[in-house]
Structure 1
Amino acid sequence: MVEVSSSSTRRRDVANRKPSTPDPITGRLGDDERELAWRRLGEETFDVVVIGGGVVGVGTALDAATRGLRVALVEARDLASGTSSRSSKLFHGGLRYLEQLEFGLVREALRERELMLTRLAPHLVKPVSFLYPLAHRVWERPYTAAGLFLYDTMGGARSVPGQKHLTRAGALRMVPALKRNALVGGIRYFDAQADDARHTMTVARTAAHYGAVVRTSTQVVDFVREADRVSGVRVRDSEDGRETTVQANAVINCTGVWTDELQRLSGSRGRFRVRASKGVHIVVPRDRIVSESGLILRTTKSVLFVIPWRNHWIVGTTDTDWNLDLAHPAATKRDIDYILEQVNSVLATPLTTADIEGVYAGLRPLLAGESESTSKLSREHAVARVSPGLVAIAGGKYTTYRVMAADAVDAAAPDLPGRLRPSITDQVPLLGADGYHALVNQADQLAARHGLHPYRVRHLLDRYGSLVHEVLGLADGHPEWLKPLAGAPDYLAVEAVYAASHEGALHVEDTLARRTRISIEYPHRGVDCAKQVAELMAEVLGWDDARVAREVEVYNARVEAERDSQSQPDDQAADARRSAAPEARPEIMEPVS
């Protein structure tokens, strides 16, 4: 009798737990769903094809699907692989926009923040407090208080506390890390935060739950035209090079900083241009800044946030033009030094480069008009029907993605058959939201059932919500999957399995950089657990030993290139070092020039 290895047995067991046909109930993005999606892309005609798997793209897919439209979404790389995994991870009203008199933008953002906290994603979006240190006597407190009063009145204090004024002694008790001479007092206020990549992925799965075809590693390489209108797109599988044509009544370009490239590919003249602005953040251990609250610091150029992030602080950001590789923006030594200089100006014990656990750089898609006056729209968004059958949307901010998505679908109305129903996504909770609060109350029982610490279960609930049963259920018969990952004790092994089986992770990079945040939360940047994660994903995706080795090699090369780039003095040198790393997706094509 031939003995079957434990690895082979597990792979077969995981495969056997897959449904024989794709199951839309949980919006699963697994192997079966991926193959079915490819067939559907080539065989069906859709009302809307959305290009781009960032938060605006997945939000647009969800908006269209819940209006009853036939929807497909394609993404060249991974969900949230661009800007939407590299933000400040805040759902905020934009307090500083009050100074620019953008009251409408602030009111809109605060409404969206409230929806996320209370109805749409309470499992993913949480309140977070910030201390604003006052540096000037007499005028600064009433000036800032007036702005915060407006903020609270517009909706900033509905489900979170309003502003609280503190003396210098009170502020230092809240944030002992501050230099005594760095402030004369302070004001605390609340906003909200979320893991941007997980939130974006959950919106995508919710869209799939409501019938959207969602397929990553699917790159648009051309547009299909009939006479003067766009009637679909030609797509290429970034994994194996297959191509097919997708027919649609309307195509919506939600590609952020790639908007102009897609416009050129379509052959249509754009109504607006997009400028990429690089924002860099660093991640440091929680014990390096002794504080009960986050910080918001005014700088000569903008503001700097110190944001609590589980056992860490996220500190940033920068704001500089970027004209190099859009897929892999690189942080430089100058960027990192700037952040350290700004935050150290108020800290009693300065941070050093040795304290940095992670660094990430993202690109904001800012609107760039043909004059200085139109470039003022940088944090607004713009949507245009570029030509019959083609809509483009860009600009905006993460917090208002749902409003942007509704506007994009509305703009496609002339190309859609029949009457377009109004947007209802303000009434559609994301997957995992329903039942979340009850499960939080039952965390102790759930922990006992699975042999986990209640703290661990609460952490899982804040990542998966009521889908936690699905996650933990994968470990039935495999208790070793309920152990922490080697080198990343905040995460269980089963989470890597679930990333591949349900969340559309196709590469180790997808799991370490986006389904988890191991790539920025640990000094090893994921290198110490890359092999284990690859082996766990192999259980689901059927990788052989050679594929496991390649995944680890590619991921380690990415980390090495990023570290190297972060020691370079300028963007050009950093870009050259970062771009030298191999792509995880072997058939990805260079953009059109």
Structure 2
Amino acid sequence: MTQPGALSPAAREAAITAMTRAGVEGELDVLVVGGGVVGAGVALDAVTRGLSTGLLEQRDLASGTSSRSSKLIHGGLRYLEMMDFALVREALTERGLLLTRLAPHLVRPVSFLYPLTHKGWERPYVGAGLALYDGMAAVGGLAQGGGMGLPRHRHLTRKGVARIAPDFRSETVTGAIKYYDCQVDDARLVVTIARTAARHGAQVATRVRVTGFLREGDRVVGVTARDLEQGRDLEIRARVVVNAAGVWTDEIQEMVGGRGALHVQASKGVHLVVPRDRIRSDSGFIVRTEKSVLFVIPWGRHWIIGTTDTDWNLDKAHPAASRTDIDYILAHVNAILREPLDHDDVEGVYAGLRPLLKGESEPTSKISREHTVVTPVLGLVMIAGGKLTTYRVMAKDAVDAAGHSLRTTSNLSLRESITDKVRLLGADGFETRSNQRVLLARRSGLHVARIDHLLGRYGGLVDDILDLVTARPDLGVPLAGAEDYLAAEVVYGVTHEGARHLDDLLTRRTRISIETFDRGVSSAPVVARLMAGELGWTDETVSEEVDHYRRRVEAERQSQLMVTDQEADEARIQVTDLL
């Protein structure tokens, strides 16, 4: 029997069957297009309001923007400097909710040093901004019945900076201010939101591409789609379709004749991953650059360093990082380090696209992350913009907008959103299991550090993994070439988290593709064989998956040697997705 909320192969097929039957047995109330953080959030918001809900994603959950961010849950200090107080206050409130109530197993505090380089005016100026930042967080926390959940900022002298971060060039600063934000594995957050939506009754199907809209007069009444795995065409009817396609928003608008008020500019953000031992520091850094900001973010046994912020008008499915992008980041981080990094220090590189609402003539680093919801035609809601941290607010606003069509077409009264109270899967039991970490290690035979790793990925669902290891002891071993992960996590990724291809496991269910110097190539064969047992792959399919992954890695490496975006794109698109 399929566990509720498990995105298994059988659950995918059942979801497609349920959605296509909607035209016979009664329409879905809401159909969501897009399986990123906003789409998953809309599905969760809608289904927990009592609406029958479906979600379609053309590739994998979080396969676009939502797996390639800076992986921060934060208010956005630079928006505070832009005087965008409402956005910062909203984001800080959401940060507190995620940290203390909704996803404490996934969201965790991370400290940053904000270096000060000018004597006199800068310390009180930045200090006042961070005091306001902390104050907004505290007020937001109180409004939600809690606190800010993080320590307040504190001032450091130059010597204080040297103690915390020996590899930082402290002689170049007058001191720093240490403050706190939060981080999250963005792809894991999306999968968990989608699973939570499924747990509450939403139908979720990946590898299904929307090809058009069903119309009755001027009203949208559903979509036509293609199941990319089975090669079959589908019709799915719904009272309201919510488009949460991110950087593909303009293309979706073209399907309804170009009608719509949203125009999205894709902005490329590149990040580098280096081993933790390359930079000795107990805190991350945030440093102002001429175009944006530079983040150096602790990430387990690694650092994430980024980012760039440049227009991208090429392949949206696989944005490519160029040599120029990588050199830009290395140059900026080396300006603050005693021991410079070079290309040989880089374990992983990833590039993502931010779906920014297009301004008249603003550079992408200046365009606001605020979101907009529009209803270009009855029965169709479109949402774009925003940021990872505020996905829940975006989802609420989109479902609120869908309420108008629901009232017009079916006289359906929309209930208030309750997602500020709905804990994500794994949140329940997390605190208890964390207190029992030593006991769990003793019972399972795993090291306590391994239990901590599992708790940080699955929270209260850690029992699922441990039960799997008990039933199949061969799955309790680390993966060859990626010892941070257990073989059981691969199997679980297929049976419960919707992974369908090798790329899904190596780049999103785990982060092996960016956390190992070989980008996961040595792990690929063993991971593919584990997946084969759950998906019924033949030896030929296993070989095809491994070969495709190796070619994808090589294409990415080649793109990262190119100077221009055009050259990088041409190198990367040589390898397309497996269907």
8 Å CA contact retained: 1:368, 1:378: no
Aligned counterpart in structure 1 of residue 300 of structure 2, from 307, 310, 330: 310
Cα distance in 1 for partners of 2:535, 2:574 equals: 27
- Larger displacement relative to structure 2 (470-479 or 183-192): 470-479
Q: Are 2:473 and 1:483 aligned?
A: no
Q: Are 2:578 and 1:584 aligned?
A: yes
Measured after TM superposition, the shift of residue 370 of structure 1 is 4.8
Q: Are 2:436 and 1:442 aligned?
A: yes
Cα distance in 1 for partners of 2:360, 2:303 equals: 39
1:296-307 aligned at under 5 Å gives the runs: 296-307=286-297
Q: Tell me the equivalent position of 1:103.
A: 85
Q: Tell me the equivalent position of 2:387.
A: 397
Q: Tell me the equivalent position of 2:207.
A: 217
Q: Tell me the equivalent position of 2:144.
A: none
Q: Are 2:24 and 1:34 aligned?
A: no
Cα distance in 2 for partners of 1:523, 1:376 equals: 34
Cα distance in 2 for partners of 1:557, 1:265 equals: 33
Cα distance in 1 for partners of 2:3, 2:105 equals: 23
Aligned counterpart in structure 2 of residue 354 of structure 1, from 340, 344, 354: 344
1:56-455 aligned at under 5 Å gives the runs: 56-155=38-137, 158-370=148-360, 378-416=368-406, 417=410, 418-455=412-449
Could you list the per-position Cα deviations for residues 179-204 of structure 1 after superposition, in whole angstroms to 9, with x for gaps in the alignment?
Answer: 13321101000000000000010000
Could you list the per-position Cα deviations for residues 446-497 of structure 1 after superposition, in whole angstroms to 9, with x for gaps in the alignment?
Answer: 1111110011001101100111111222233421210000000000001000
Distance change in 2, residues 1:105/1:471 (3 Å): same
Cα distance in 1 for partners of 2:563, 2:362 equals: 30
Which amino acid is the alignment partner of residue 122 of structure 1?
Answer: P
Could you list the per-position Cα deviations for residues 20-49 of structure 1 after superposition, in whole angstroms to 9, with x for gaps in the alignment?
Answer: xx432xx00001111111111210120000
Cα distance in 2 for partners of 1:491, 1:162 equals: 34
Cα distance in 1 for partners of 2:302, 2:364 equals: 38
Q: Are 2:3 and 1:23 aligned?
A: yes
Cα distance in 2 for partners of 1:513, 1:386 equals: 35
Aligned counterpart in structure 1 of residue 461 of structure 2, from 460, 467, 488: 467
TM superposition score normalised by structure 2 = 0.96
Which amino acid is the alignment partner of residue 47 of structure 1?
Answer: D
Measured after TM superposition, the shift of residue 373 of structure 1 is 12
Cα distance in 2 for partners of 1:342, 1:482 equals: 41
Cα distance in 1 for partners of 2:523, 2:133 equals: 43
Distance change in 2, residues 1:326/1:373 (3 Å): closer
Cα distance in 2 for partners of 1:582, 1:459 equals: 33
Cα distance in 2 for partners of 1:265, 1:238 equals: 19
Which amino acid is the alignment partner of residue 342 of structure 1?
Answer: H
- Equivalent residue of 1:438, what SS? helix
- Equivalent residue of 1:425, what SS? coil
Which amino acid is the alignment partner of residue 498 of structure 2?
Answer: G
8 Å CA contact retained: 2:161, 2:170: no
8 Å CA contact retained: 1:250, 1:389: yes
Cα distance in 1 for partners of 2:494, 2:15 equals: 16
Could you list the per-position Cα deviations for residues 347-387 of structure 1 after superposition, in whole angstroms to 9, with x for gaps in the alignment?
Answer: 00001110000000000000014565999653110100111
Q: Tell me the equivalent position of 2:36.
A: 54
- Larger displacement relative to structure 2 (438-447 or 81-90): 438-447
8 Å CA contact retained: 2:444, 2:470: no
Distance change in 2, residues 1:103/1:464 (3 Å): same
- Equivalent residue of 1:172, what SS? helix
Measured after TM superposition, the shift of residue 268 of structure 1 is 4.4
- The Cα RMSD (Å) is 1.3
Q: Tell me the equivalent position of 1:10.
A: none
8 Å CA contact retained: 2:273, 2:348: yes
8 Å CA contact retained: 1:130, 1:296: yes
Cα distance in 2 for partners of 1:371, 1:138 equals: 35
Question: Identity rate of aligned residues, in percent?
Answer: 60
8 Å CA contact retained: 2:310, 2:365: no
- Equivalent residue of 1:279, what SS? strand
Which amino acid is the alignment partner of residue 50 of structure 2?
Answer: G
Cα distance in 1 for partners of 2:365, 2:279 equals: 37
Which amino acid is the alignment partner of residue 244 of structure 2?
Answer: C
Measured after TM superposition, the shift of residue 72 of structure 1 is 0.2
Q: Tell me the equivalent position of 1:588.
A: none
- Equivalent residue of 2:497, what SS? coil
- Equivalent residue of 1:159, what SS? coil
Cα distance in 2 for partners of 1:147, 1:374 equals: 24
Cα distance in 2 for partners of 1:490, 1:276 equals: 33
Which amino acid is the alignment partner of residue 41 of structure 2?
Answer: G
- Larger displacement relative to structure 2 (218-227 or 473-482): 473-482
- Equivalent residue of 1:379, what SS? coil
8 Å CA contact retained: 1:369, 1:375: no
Cα distance in 1 for partners of 2:135, 2:416 equals: 28
Could you list the per-position Cα deviations for residues 488-531 of structure 1 after superposition, in whole angstroms to 9, with x for gaps in the alignment?
Answer: 00000010000011100000000000000000000010100001
Which amino acid is the alignment partner of residue 250 of structure 1?
Answer: V
Cα distance in 1 for partners of 2:541, 2:209 equals: 22
8 Å CA contact retained: 1:220, 1:236: yes
Which amino acid is the alignment partner of residue 551 of structure 1?
Answer: E
Cα distance in 2 for partners of 1:576, 1:75 equals: 25
Q: Are 2:556 and 1:562 aligned?
A: yes
Could you list the per-position Cα deviations for residues 66-105 of structure 1 after superposition, in whole angstroms to 9, with x for gaps in the alignment?
Answer: 0000000000000000000000000000011111000000
- Runs (4+) of structure 1 exceeding 6 A deviation are 373-376
Could you list the per-position Cα deviations for residues 529-569 of structure 1 after superposition, in whole angstroms to 9, with x for gaps in the alignment?
Answer: 00100000111111110011011011111101001100100
8 Å CA contact retained: 2:519, 2:553: yes
Cα distance in 1 for partners of 2:366, 2:350 equals: 26
